[in-house]
A and B are shown apart, each in its own frame.
Chain A
Amino acid sequence: MSSEAIEIRGLVKQYGNIRALDGLNLTVPRGALAGFVGLNGAGKTTTLKILLQMACADEGAAHVFGLNTASRIDSLNIRRRTAFVPERKDLFPYMTIGEVIAFTKSFYPKWRSDLEKRYLKDFGLKYEQKIPQLSKGTLSKLHLLLAFSRGAELILLDEPTDGLDPLGVEVFLQALVGLVAEEGVTVFFSSHRLNEMEQVADYLCLIHKGRALLNGQLDDLKTACRRVVLVFGGDSSPLVREFAATGPVKQDGRTLTVLANGAVASVVERAKVFGATSVDIQQLSLREMFLELVKGDAQ
Chain B
Amino acid sequence: MIWRKSWWECRARVFWAAFAYVAVSCMALVFFSNPPTAKNALATWNLFSILLACFVTPIITVLLAGSGINSQTAWGMFQGFHASMYFLLSMPVSRRRALLVRSALGAIFTVLFVLLSIGTVALGVRLLGAGVPIARVFGSIPFMLIDAFGFYGLSTFLCILLDEFWAGMLGMGITGLLFGMEVGFWVLPIHFKPAQILSGELFLSTGVVGWPVIVFFLLMGVSFLAASVYLVERREY
**Is B128 at the interface (CB under 8 A from chain A)?**
no
**Is B82 at the interface (CB under 8 A from chain A)?**
yes
Chain B 1-25 residues near chain A, CB threshold 8 A? 1, 4-5, 8-9, 12
**Is A106 at the interface (CB under 8 A from chain B)?**
yes
Partner pick for A84 among B5, B9, B90, CB 8 A cutoff:
B90
Q: Which residues of the other chain, B, contact A106 by a CB distance below 8 angstroms?
A: 1
Residues of B in contact (CB 8 Å), total 22
Taking a contact as CB atoms under 8 Å apart, the answer to whether A90 and B94 are in contact is no
CB distance from B80 to the nearest CB of A (A): 11
Q: Which residues of the other chain, B, contact A143 by a CB distance below 8 angstroms?
A: 87
Partner pick for B237 among A49, A87, A94, CB 8 A cutoff:
A49
**Is A91 at the interface (CB under 8 A from chain B)?**
yes
**Is B83 at the interface (CB under 8 A from chain A)?**
yes
Q: Which residues of the other chain, A, contact B83 by a CB distance below 8 angstroms?
A: 86, 88-90
**Is A80 at the interface (CB under 8 A from chain B)?**
yes
CA distance A107 to B233 in the complex (A): 20
Q: Which residues of the other chain, A, contact B90 by a CB distance below 8 angstroms?
A: 52, 54, 79, 82-84, 86
Question: What are the interface flags for B91-108 relative to A under an 8 Å C-beta threshold, 1 for contact and 0 otherwise?
Answer: 111100000000000000
**Is A18 at the interface (CB under 8 A from chain B)?**
no
Which range contains the number of A residues in contact with the other chain? 20 to 34
Q: Which residues of the other chain, B, contact A102 by a CB distance below 8 angstroms?
A: 1
Taking a contact as CB atoms under 8 Å apart, the answer to whether A54 and B5 are in contact is no
Partner pick for B71 among A79, A86, A94, CB 8 A cutoff:
A94
CB distance from B85 to the nearest CB of A (A): 9
CB distance from B12 to the nearest CB of A (A): 8
Q: Which residues of the other chain, A, contact B89 by a CB distance below 8 angstroms?
A: 52-54
Q: Which residues of the other chain, A, contact B4 by a CB distance below 8 angstroms?
A: 103
Q: Which residues of the other chain, A, contact B237 by a CB distance below 8 angstroms?
A: 49, 54-55
Q: Which residues of the other chain, B, contact A76 by a CB distance below 8 angstroms?
A: 92-94
Closest B residue to A76 by beta carbon equals B92
Q: Which residues of the other chain, B, contact A88 by a CB distance below 8 angstroms?
A: 83, 86
Taking a contact as CB atoms under 8 Å apart, the answer to whether B71 and A92 are in contact is yes
Partner pick for A103 among B1, B12, B94, CB 8 A cutoff:
B1
Taking a contact as CB atoms under 8 Å apart, the answer to whether B71 and A93 are in contact is yes
CA distance A84 to B85 in the complex (A): 12
CB distance from B235 to the nearest CB of A (A): 9
Taking a contact as CB atoms under 8 Å apart, the answer to whether B5 and A90 are in contact is no
Taking a contact as CB atoms under 8 Å apart, the answer to whether A92 and B94 are in contact is no
Taking a contact as CB atoms under 8 Å apart, the answer to whether A94 and B1 are in contact is no
Taking a contact as CB atoms under 8 Å apart, the answer to whether A80 and B92 are in contact is yes
CB distance from A85 to the nearest CB of B (A): 9
Question: What are the interface flags for B176-192 relative to A under an 8 Å C-beta threshold, 1 for contact and 0 otherwise?
Answer: 00000000000000000
12 further A-B pairs in the complex, CB-CB below 8 A; given A52-B89, A56-B236: A52-B90, A53-B89, A76-B94, A79-B92, A80-B92, A82-B90, A91-B84, A91-B87, A92-B5, A92-B71, A94-B9, A107-B1
Which B residues are within 8 Å of any A CB, using their own CB?
Answer: 1, 4-5, 8-9, 12, 71-72, 82-84, 86-87, 89-94, 233, 236-237
Some 28 contacts from A to B, beta carbons below 8 A apart, are A49-B236, A54-B90, A56-B236, A72-B94, A72-B233, A76-B94, A77-B92, A79-B90, A79-B91, A79-B92, A83-B90, A86-B90, A88-B83, A89-B83, A91-B84, A91-B87, A92-B8, A92-B71, A93-B82, A95-B8, A99-B8, A103-B5, A106-B1, A107-B1, A107-B91, A107-B92, A108-B92, A143-B87
